[in-house]
A = this chain, B = another copy of it.
């Protein structure tokens, strides 16, 4: 490999496409990345469900007999957006145990269990509590993120697949994290297209617009990919059908070759995706599913990034009030007659275009649902 492996923290709210991303990262990217932790967030489901699902994915994607003894901490994050924190709780010390009954979750996209109703099938079979381990007692996602970045300065990429609450709280609690975090890769926003919650707002950003704006205004090494790109990267029905066909007729379905997801994981992803597929058919008339989170994962891997995406540098601000709350606005021009709200914000690198075929080659081959994977 010409590129060094990156340490990766996946901050996530699983979620069906989160599950795809975690599976691809854990099982097929060992040459490119090392997952050093999974932190959880409200979003597709409430935080407690997200943690349960994240733990399940770390189980399901660890390979028995793996000499590395694959084991990754799963660390609880915030239950609520920054705007719902108690007055005066600037560092979000109450975020972990906050009342989340008023938080909007996307159960109509991911089902009550966040996994399209497929969780029970694998949890009974594979959920082994002792193999998931939590971080140090009393520490939460924001602490874990900051402490891990401090341990490996410049080496850790945080892949934020949900709202940016945990990341913003890490920066609030540990300002030095602005320097020690290597890169932040954000799945969120809609720059030249409508949002997916309403014409203005994309779901991850609308989940916590204050956190997002705070992060975009302060952190320098941010990559962003939003709906402009992620809705173009689609697995089709035929891809999903291939996921259900095992590679290993000898029944040894848990072994993979380090380049493709295992049969057991592929079958789970297939099952989870059925509910998600129905949503896409009803909402967008699409015979397939958007690969939002896996596309963001591709952006997090330097050896893939430049082959797949066209990046634009510019300041991003997030609207925090009014009818367009949650909207992301990228300054593509940066030369203005008078200073404006974007002037002092650092430049992000925003993926505004994607080589769809190149992205799908990466994803289909790793999932084992490319046509050449047919047996």
Contact with B along A302-325 (1 / 0, CB 8 A): 000000000000010101111110
Shortest Cβ distance from residue A285 to the other chain B in the assembled complex, whole angstroms: 9
Neighbouring B residues of A283 by C-beta, 8 Å: 335, 337
CB atoms of B199 and A331 under 8 A apart: yes
CA distance A284 to B332 in the complex (A): 12
List A residues 168-203 near B (Cβ within 8 Å): 192-194, 197-200
A323 nearest in chain B by CB position: B341
Copy tally for this chain in the complex stands at 2
- On chain A, the number of residues with a Cβ less than 8 Å from chain B's Cβ atoms is 30
A62 to chain B, nearest CB (A): 35
A121 on the B face (CB < 8 A): no
**Residues of chain B lying within 8 A (CB to CB) of residue A193:** 192, 332
Expressed in whole angstroms, the Cα–Cα distance for A197 and B331 within the complex equals 11
Contact between chains at A194 and B323 (CB < 8 Å): no
Describe A's contact surface by its main secondary structure: loop
Which residues from B are CB-within-8-Å of A329?
A: 199-200, 323-324, 327
Residue from B108, B198, B337, B340 in contact with A340 in the complex, judged by beta carbons closer than 8 Å:
B198
| Bitwise interface map of A from 324 to 346 toward B, beta carbon under 8 Å scored 1, else 0 | 10010111110111001110000
By beta carbon, the residue of chain B nearest A327 is: B324
Could you say which residues of chain B place their CB within 8 Å of the CB of A108?
337
- A199-B340, A199-B342, A337-B283 in contact; A194/B332 too (CB < 8 A)? yes
Instruction: Give the CA-CA distance A331 to B195 in the complex, in Å.
Output: 9
CA A327 to CA B199, docked complex, whole Å: 12
Q: Which of A197, A321, A322, A342 has the most CB of B within 10 A?
A: A322
Instruction: State how many angstroms separate the Cβ of A221 from the closest Cβ of chain B.
Output: 21
Option from B320, B324, B330 in Cβ contact (under 8 Å) with A199: B330
CA distance in complex: A317, B315 (Å): 24
Which residues of chain B are within 8 angstroms of A330 by Cβ–Cβ distance?
A: 194, 199
Determine how close the nearest CB of chain B comes to the CB of A336; give it in whole angstroms. Answer: 6
Nearest residue (CB) in B for A192 is B192
Q: Chain B nearest CB: distance from A321 CB in Å?
A: 5
Is A323 a contact of B332 with CB atoms below 8 Å?
A: no
Of listed A199, A321, A340, residue having the most chain B CB within 10 A: A199
Interchain nearest-CB distance for A133 vs B (Å): 37
State in angstroms the CA–CA spacing of A329 and B328 once bound together. Answer: 12
Q: Smallest CB-CB separation from A198: which chain B residue?
A: B340
Contact between chains at B333 and A323 (CB < 8 Å): no
Contacts of A199 in B (CB 8 A): 315, 317, 329-333, 340, 342
**What are 13 residue pairs bridging A and B, where the CB atoms are less than 8 Å apart in the complex?**
A108-B337, A193-B332, A194-B332, A197-B340, A198-B341, A199-B317, A283-B337, A284-B335, A319-B324, A321-B322, A322-B322, A323-B329, A327-B327
